[in-house]
Amino acid sequence: MLKGFFVPLHREGWRFVAAFAAVDVILWCLAAPLGWIGLIATAWCAYFFRDPPRVTPRRAGLVVSPADGVVQMIQPAVPPPELGLASQPLTRVSVFMNVFDVHVNRTPCPGTVTGLAYRPGAFFNASLDKASELNERQSLRLRLADGRELVVVQIAGLVARRIRCEVAAGQALQAGERIGLIRFGSRVDVYLPDGVAPLVAVGQRAVAGETVIADLQSSEPARLGERN
């Protein structure tokens, strides 16, 4: 039970937790009510940077969610031009993370990083469609074992001010492997290979590294969801 409660922190979070804790010590010296506020803020900071282990399905062809959150949009869209891909629209699955979700992002499927591109931009609400086009973003191009390509895009949000990508060009990745994180509240887009239909529906909750969002080997049509 305690093991499930004390979740490991991502290494990026330790300095933030330390800074919050240092400020909290000062607040306690000033007044007890301020100290309690600082303690709550420090606990929230530690909660934000949690990095729980995940169990990733290993069957060939499965594409898992790169982020925790709600599937916000599923629609055709052209991948970021800075990756050098053709201007053909592909099915884009967008997963929106709020400030209470785990923000560590993971690889959707096995592949080799053939392209990385960072583009500065605005900080609109990440749940808006225009965020894919106008917001700050970090794009990642993956070549899969069968030669097809898949794109993952980390997008900054309204209060997010930092995208951290932890992979390098030429690196071979496994499904569910950590690729970075975004602070604080944001979105991750996955552009599926041509002809691949999503197996999730808008409004569905996804878990990074675990929820299957597509199957490269399946001919099943796109799924519809119904809220109950």
Residue spans per domain, the chain: 2-48, 62-215
Model confidence at 4, pLDDT cuts 50, 70, 90, reads very low
Asked whether the CA dihedral 203, 208, 212, 217 is positive or negative, the reply is positive
pLDDT given at position 130: 63
pLDDT given at position 41: 84
Note the pLDDT tens digit of each residue in 170-180.
Answer: 999 999 999 98
pLDDT given at position 28: 80
What does residue 93 show for φ and ψ, rounded to 5 degrees? -110, 120
| Cα distances (Å, whole numbers) of residue 64 to 27, 56, 208 | 43, 8, 7
Model confidence at 183, pLDDT cuts 50, 70, 90, reads confident
Least confidently predicted of 55-59, 185-189, 221-225: 221-225
pLDDT given at position 1: 41
**Amino acid (one-letter) located at 11:** R
Instruction: Find the mean pLDDT for residues 114-119.
Output: 91
Tokens of 21: 């804790």
Q: Which CATH architecture has domain 62-215?
A: Distorted Sandwich (2.70)
| Cα distances (Å, whole numbers) of residue 192 to 1, 92, 152 | 38, 6, 9
Instruction: Find the mean pLDDT for residues 83-92.
Output: 91
Given a cut of 60, is residue 122 above it in pLDDT? yes
- Is the separation of the CB atoms in 117 and 87 below 8 Å? no
Catalytic site positions: 186
Angle between helices 14-30 and 32-48 in degrees, nearest 10: 170
C-alpha–C-alpha distance, residues 119 and 16, integer Å: 25
